[in-house]
């Protein structure tokens, strides 16, 4: 792969500028689906870093590679997914650095749950229906703490339940006896059992209604403040991300097209796709306006268009957008935070940036 | 009707009307699920009514009752003022020609082994007899054009898997339109679609409302899209309607504590301070719904009255009703406040730290020692 070199040389620079103390540093990660001669490139040379104690939001439409990125970075990607290049550097609290993709199986097994834990999409289906939820947590603890006594592990599980606001007597419930919100909390409790440093949450609130979503999000924020872990929060709901995330990365068709601090990105989007995504959610407050969403549909990744993948849906597309692929780089708007990156030809300085993508306040 | 809601201009007569609609499911000898109780609902030509509520509140049950896919256990259903309950297959056919349902999942509602042409032809033939040749072709093209799938020839011979989610949902809508219905019941039509194409579908339905004067029931859990799309909004909680009114006032000035909680819980990036915090509790079991107001176990203002007596609908201004004792003139009524502050701060969480004990020889020994200093006293020393 050619991109590994450029990633090694190019990616750390923006990463270094964006995050001072990365706990997870993804560099030039590429993923293909399919083992035949013509695999689908679902992730192409994605670099992203997660700062210590930071909540990083990952947003985009379904099929744009958000979950693939999370699973590839933890080596949980099931076949036919295949990691074809890149590095994922994990830095422990003690400063130990390891490439997750190069770990031995035994080491990986130790590191999972202990260093990085995942709350999977659809908590409804991630719990085993035939075991009591307490047993499932205790099993996870025993896998990493074989010397613990049963009482000790159960006590820890009870602590965790209290932490996420479930009465400890619920440890003896089966998953079907709990509501959706409670099952989601059980998953969060489970993920936090060994105090991981990185918590990846894949659409943790999508199946819940807004009131429960608000409760869960509040709880995650509070636990993060107290336990000091970092979060990668994956969702398609950008408006929710703006509230919970410190920084947001927007993905489109397997690439990161824009990243920056949450509020900046919301108020002053620089990529036409970000702009379109933000105006795809009708506002609950403020003036009522006619909205259009984004015309068209995401490209077929097994046969991606040349040049910028968003060009066919982009209202500002230039001639070279169909031919040359843009790279993630600084924006062309003076006064932008140095932490902002955008992959768009409009920001290469050759022409003025359209007004709606160049707001400065 | 005593408490339904004549919010829309009175000059348009109701097309489809539900009065005191009720659906109870028996729960295999373990009681009865009170899925829908006392629902009054009026759909008029050229008007979109949104039904908003969380999952399990009975929204989809109402859609199925209105489509008569299952019988109600109580109440009346009227189409143009006449009793519309079907008792035979033929009556059902006549009814569905006027009231069509669109499902949430366009991936499941279109048969994957048939082309768009076949799917639409079936619907056209069922409702308009045996059209053939040019007449049929013109009808099919007209249907696809109405849902903005142009040019129609490009889509007619595709299979559902060759279409994107948004295109599939448009085909599902075209199939519903084949019957030339007066009422469209849309059960979460956009929640399975990609965010960028959701608005396209809503705008299409808006357009159909205006051009074909359809009466549309829009069922959703997203109150923001109800504000965007619907003329009137009904809010449901645990099988009962708790608030009705025009969408703008229901979302901007919610009166029922549940609606307030719903509105204040929605993400609002512009004002991070203005949101309900510390809400607790969950929707009640519908097998044994709480006595009185069904929201009372979660309501921060609930009093003894709320726990014992069912609140009636109170008229609270132009076309707005709310089922809450707080708006009654009873002396023992609860005093409502700001739901944003009413829950107070969430009790602080005790965060017990995990006793540091690394997996076998993983970490360098210095790290463990350092970590246990950094993360509080370790309790496991004695155990070990």
**Which residue among A107, A180, A227 sits closest to B351, beta carbon to beta carbon?**
A227
Interface test with A, best of B195, B229, B235, B263 (most A CBs within 10 A): B195
Chain pair A-B, CB pairs under 8 angstroms: 165
Contacts of B351 (CB under 8 A, 6+ apart): A163, A223, A226, A227
User: Residue B41: its pLDDT value, please?
Assistant: 93
User: Which percentage of chain B shows pLDDT scores above 70?
Assistant: 83
Residues 266-295 of A with CB under 8 A from B: 266, 276-277, 280-286, 288, 291-295
Structure tokens, B276: 């309900």
Kindly state whether residues B188 and B53 are assigned to the same domain: yes
Among A351, A177, A210, smallest CA distance to B279 is for A210
Q: Could you give the CA distance from residue B54 to residue B283 in angstroms, rounded to a whole number?
A: 9
CATH code of the domain containing B209: 3.40.50.300
Confidence of residue A288 (pLDDT cuts 50, 70, 90): confident
- Please say which residue of B191, B219, B252 terminates a domain: B252
Find, in chain A, the residue whose alpha carbon is nearest to that of B370.
Answer: A94
- CB count in 10 Å sphere of residue B43: 25
One DSSP character per residue, A191-245 reads: HTTT--SEEEEESTTTTS-HHHHHHHHHHHHHHHHHH--EEEEEES-HHHHHHH-
- Selecting from A147, A239, A297 the residue whose C-beta is nearest the C-beta of B269 gives A239
CA distance B346 to chain A (A): 9
* DSSP per position, A132-160: -HHHHHHHHHHHH-TTS-HHHHHHHHHHH
Tell me which of B163, B248, B251, B359 to substitute to probe the interface with A (most A C-beta atoms closer than 10 Å). Answer: B359
Radius of gyration for chain A, computed over Cα atoms and rounded to the nearest angstrom: 21
* Per-residue pLDDT, A8: 38
Same domain, B214 and B330: no
Which band of pLDDT confidence, cut at 50, 70 and 90, is reported for residue B51? very high
Phi, psi (5° rounding) for residue B50? -100, 140
> A113 to chain B: which residues are within 8 Å by CB?
none
The domain boundary, picked from B252, B278, B295, lies at B252
Using an 8 Å Cβ cutoff, are B367 and A94 in contact? yes
Whether B265 and B320 share a structural domain: yes
Domains in chain B, number: 2
Q: Tell me the shortest Cα–Cα distance from A229 to chain B, in angstroms.
A: 12
Give the integer Cα–Cα distance in Å for A347 and A17. 19
Verify whether the Cβ–Cβ distance B228 to A285 is below 8 Å. Answer: no
Q: Where are the beta strands (DSSP E) in B148-197?
A: 183-187
pLDDT at position A56 over 90: yes
Residues B100 and B226 both lie in one domain: yes
The model's confidence at residue B242, banded by pLDDT at 50, 70 and 90, is very high
**3-state SS assignment for residue B216:** strand
> Chain B window 257-316: which residues touch A at a Cβ cutoff of 8 Å?
261-263, 265-272, 275-280, 282-283
Task: Say which range, A2-11, A21-30, A187-196, B120-129, has the weakest mean pLDDT.
Answer: A2-11
Residue-wise DSSP of B102-152 = E-S-HHHHS-TTS-HHHHHHHHHHHHH----HHHHHHHHHHHHHHTT--ST
CB contact under 8 A, B200 and A145: no
Handedness of CA B171, B172, B174, B178 (dihedral sign): positive
Domain span including residue B230: 14-108+179-252
- B85: DSSP letter: -
Other CB atoms within 10 A of residue A309 CB: 25
Q: Answer whether residue B85 shows pLDDT above 80.
A: yes
Q: Is the pLDDT of residue B218 over 50?
A: yes
Inter-chain CB proximity A94 and B370 less than 8 Å? yes
Residues of B in contact with A180 (CB under 8 A): 55
Are B195 and A280 within 8 A, CB to CB?
A: yes
Looking at the domain assignment, is residue B356 inside a domain? no
Residues 5-34 of A with CB under 8 A from B: none
Q: Say yes or no to pLDDT of B9 above 50.
A: no
- What pLDDT does residue B349 have? 56
Res A249 pLDDT > 80: yes
Quick one: B82 and B65 in the same domain? Answer: yes
| Cross-chain CB nearest to A179 (options B196, B282, B360) | B282
Residues 82-111 of A with CB under 8 A from B: 92-94, 96, 107, 110
Give the pLDDT of residue B195: 84
Shortest Cα distance from A356 to chain B (angstroms)?
18
Q: B32 in a domain, yes or no?
A: yes
Does residue B46 register a pLDDT over 90?
A: yes
Average pLDDT over residues B323-346: 80
pLDDT surpasses 60 at B96: yes
Residue of A nearest to B280 (CA): A215
In the predicted model, what is the mean pLDDT of residues A219-231? Answer: 87
The answer to whether the CB atoms of B352 and A236 lie below 8 A apart is no
More confident residue, A23 or A226: A23
Do B219 and B272 lie in a common domain? Answer: no
Q: Is B373 part of any domain?
A: no
Q: What is the mean pLDDT of residues A255-268?
A: 91
The structural domains of chain A, ordered by start, are: 15-115+197-291 (3.40.50.300), 123-195 (no CATH)
Nearest CA to B239 out of B284, B299, B187, B292 is that of B284
Question: For residue B150, is pLDDT > 90?
Answer: no
Residues A202-220 have a mean pLDDT of 81
Residue A64 pLDDT: 86
User: Is pLDDT at B356 greater than 80 in this prediction?
Assistant: no
Considering the domain architecture, whether residues B196 and B310 belong to the same structural domain is answered as: no
Task: Look at A251 and A178; give whichever has higher pLDDT.
Answer: A251
> Given this model, what pLDDT does residue A18 score?
66
pLDDT at B384: 33
The predicted structure's pLDDT at residue B374:
36
What residues contact residue B64 under an 8 Å CB cut-off, 6+ apart?
B70, B101
Which residue does chain A place closest to B262, by CA atoms? A211
How wide is the angle at C-alpha A235 spanned by C-alphas A232 and A236, nearest 5°? 145
Contacts of A293 in chain B (CB under 8 A): 195-200, 203
CA-based nearest residue in chain A for residue B194: A61
Residues of A in contact with B221 (CB under 8 A): 209-210
- SS3 readout for B224-277: HHHHHHCCEEEEEECCEEEEEEEHHHHHHCCCCHHHHHHHHHCCCCCCCCCCCC
pTM: 0.83
Last residue of a domain, one of B252, B278, B302: B252
Classify residue B113: in a domain, yes or no: no
Residues B218 and B98 in one domain: yes
State how far residue B194 is from chain A, nearest Cα, in angstroms. Answer: 6
Examine the pLDDT at B120 and tell me if it is beyond 90. yes
Mean pLDDT on B90-103: 92
Structural domain contains residue B37: yes
**Min Cα–Cα distance to chain B from A31, Å:** 22
- B61: in domain: yes
Q: What is the pLDDT of residue B378?
A: 37
Is residue B355 one of the residues assigned to a domain? Answer: no
Residues B244 and B325 in one domain: no
- The pLDDT tens digits of the residues spanning B296-314 come to 988 889 899 999 999 999 9
Residue B285 has pLDDT above 50, yes or no: yes
Residue predicted with more confidence, B177 or B355? B177
As a whole number, mean pLDDT of residues A307-335 equals: 88
In a domain, residue B122? The reply is: no
Are B199 and A291 in contact (CB < 8 Å)? yes
**Mean pLDDT value across residues B64-82:** 92
Same domain, residue pair B306 and B339: yes
Whether B350 sits inside 8 A of A162 (CB atoms) is: yes
Q: Which of B55, B354, B383 sits opposite A209 (nearest CB)?
A: B55
User: What is the rounded average pLDDT for all residues in chain A?
Assistant: 85
Give the model confidence (pLDDT) of A80-101 as tens digits: 889 999 999 999 888 888 899 9
| CA contacts within 13 A on the Cβ side of B20 | 7
* Percent of chain A residues topping a pLDDT of 70: 94
Mean pLDDT over all residues of chain B? 83
Does residue B208 carry a pLDDT above 90? yes
CA of A274: which chain B residue's CA is closest? Answer: B196
Nearest chain A Cα distance for residue B41, angstroms? 23
Select the more confidently predicted residue: B314 or B6. Answer: B314
Q: How far is B230 from chain A (nearest CA, A)?
A: 12
> How does residue B328 score in pLDDT terms, banded at 50, 70 and 90?
confident
- Asked if A179's CB is within 8 angstroms of B197's CB, the reply is no
The pLDDT assigned to A251 comes to 93
Instruction: Among B263, B367, B380, select the one facing A284 at the smallest CB separation.
Output: B263
Q: Choose the closest CB to B197 out of A94, A181, A293.
A: A293
Clarify whether residues B92 and B214 are in a common domain. Answer: yes
Query: Please, which pLDDT band fits residue A9 given cuts at 50, 70 and 90?
Result: very low
Q: Is the pLDDT of residue A243 over 80?
A: yes
pLDDT at B333: 85
| Average pLDDT rounded to a whole number, residues B265-293 | 77
Residues B229 and B286 placed together within one structural domain of the fold: no
The chain A residue lying nearest B276, using CA atoms, is A214
């Amino acid at each position: 792969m050619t991109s590994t070199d450029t990633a090694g040389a190019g990616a750390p620079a923006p990463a270094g500028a964006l995050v001072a103390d990365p706990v997870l540093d993804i560099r030039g990660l590429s993923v293909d689906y399919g083992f035949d001669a013509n695999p689908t490139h679902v992730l192409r040379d994605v670099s992203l870093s997660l700062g210590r104690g930071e909540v990083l939001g990952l947003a985009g439409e379904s099929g744009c590679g958000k979950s693939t990125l999370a699973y590839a970075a933890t080596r949980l990607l099931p076949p036919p997914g295949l990691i074809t290049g890149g590095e994922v550097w994990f830095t422990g609290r003690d400063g130990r650095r390891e490439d997750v993709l190069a770990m031995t199986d035994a080491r990986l097994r130790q590191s999972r749950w202990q260093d990085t834990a995942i709350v999977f999409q659809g908590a409804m289906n991630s719990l085993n229906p035939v075991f009591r939820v307490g047993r499932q947590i205790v099993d996870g603890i025993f896998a990493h703490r074989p010397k613990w006594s049963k009482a000790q592990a159960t006590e820890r599980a009870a602590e965790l339940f209290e932490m996420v606001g479930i009465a400890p007597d619920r440890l003896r419930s089966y998953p079907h006896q709990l509501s959706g919100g409670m099952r989601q909390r059980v998953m969060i409790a489970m993920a936090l059992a060994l105090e991981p440093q990185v918590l990846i949450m894949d659409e943790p609130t999508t199946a819940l209604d807004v009131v429960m979503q608000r409760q869960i999000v509040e709880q995650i924020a509070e636990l993060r403040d107290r336990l000091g872990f970092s979060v990668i929060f994956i969702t398609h709901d950008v408006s929710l991300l703006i509230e919970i995330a410190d920084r947001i990365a927007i993905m489109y068709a397997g690439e990161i097209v824009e990243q920056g601090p949450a509020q900046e990105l919301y108020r002053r989007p620089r990529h036409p796709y970000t702009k379109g995504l933000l105006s795809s959610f009708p506002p609950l407050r403020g003036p009522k306006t006619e909205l259009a969403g984004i015309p068209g549909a995401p490209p077929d990744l097994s046969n991606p268009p040349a040049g910028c993948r968003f060009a066919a849906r982009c209202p500002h597309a230039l001639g070279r957008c169909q031919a040359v692929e843009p790279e993630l780089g600084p924006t062309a708007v003076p006064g932008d935070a140095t932490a902002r990156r955008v992959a768009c030809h409009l920001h290469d300085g050759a022409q003025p940036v359209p007004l709606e993508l160049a707001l400065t306040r | 009707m005593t408490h339904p809601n004549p919010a829309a201009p009175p000059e348009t007569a109701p097309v489809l009307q539900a009065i005191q609609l009720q659906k109870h499911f028996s729960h295999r000898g373990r009681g009865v699920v009170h899925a829908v109780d006392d629902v009054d609902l009026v759909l008029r030509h050229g008007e979109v009514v949104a039904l908003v509520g969380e999952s399990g509140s009975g929204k989809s049950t109402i859609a199925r009752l209105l489509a008569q896919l299952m019988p109600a256990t109580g109440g009346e259903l009227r189409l143009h003022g006449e009793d519309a309950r079907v008792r035979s297959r033929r009556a059902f056919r006549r009814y569905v020609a006027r009231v069509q349902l669109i499902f949430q999942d366009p991936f499941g509602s279109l048969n994957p082994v048939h082309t768009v042409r076949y799917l639409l032809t079936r619907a056209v033939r069922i409702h308009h007899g045996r059209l053939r040749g040019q007449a049929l072709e013109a009808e099919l093209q007209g249907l696809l054009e109405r849902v903005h799938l142009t040019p129609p020839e490009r889509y007619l011979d595709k299979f559902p898997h060759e279409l994107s989610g948004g295109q599939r949902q448009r085909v599902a809508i075209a199939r519903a339109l084949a019957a030339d219905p007066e009422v469209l019941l849309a059960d979460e039509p956009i929640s399975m679609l990609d965010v960028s194409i959701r608005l396209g579908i809503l705008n299409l339905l808006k357009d159909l409302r205006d051009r074909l004067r359809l009466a549309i029931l829009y069922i959703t859990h997203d109150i923001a899209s109800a504000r965007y799309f619907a003329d009137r909004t009904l809010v449901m909680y645990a099988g009962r309607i708790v608030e009705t009114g025009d969408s703008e006032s229901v979302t901007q000035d919610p009166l029922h504590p549940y609606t307030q909680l719903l509105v204040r819980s929605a993400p609002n990036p512009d004002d991070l301070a203005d949101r309900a915090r510390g809400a607790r509790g969950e929707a009640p079991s519908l097998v044994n719904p709480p006595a009185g107001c069904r929201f009372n176990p979660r309501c921060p203002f609930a009093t003894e009255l709320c726990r014992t007596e069912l609140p009636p609908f109170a008229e609270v201004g132009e076309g707005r009703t709310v089922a809450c004792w707080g708006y009654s003139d009873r002396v023992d009524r609860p005093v409502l406040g700001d739901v944003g502050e009413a829950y107070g701060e969430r009790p602080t969480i005790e965060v017990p730290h995990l006793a540091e004990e690394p997996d076998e020889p993983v970490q360098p020994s210095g790290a463990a020692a350092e970590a246990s200093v950094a993360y509080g006293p370790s309790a496991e020393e004695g155990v070990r």
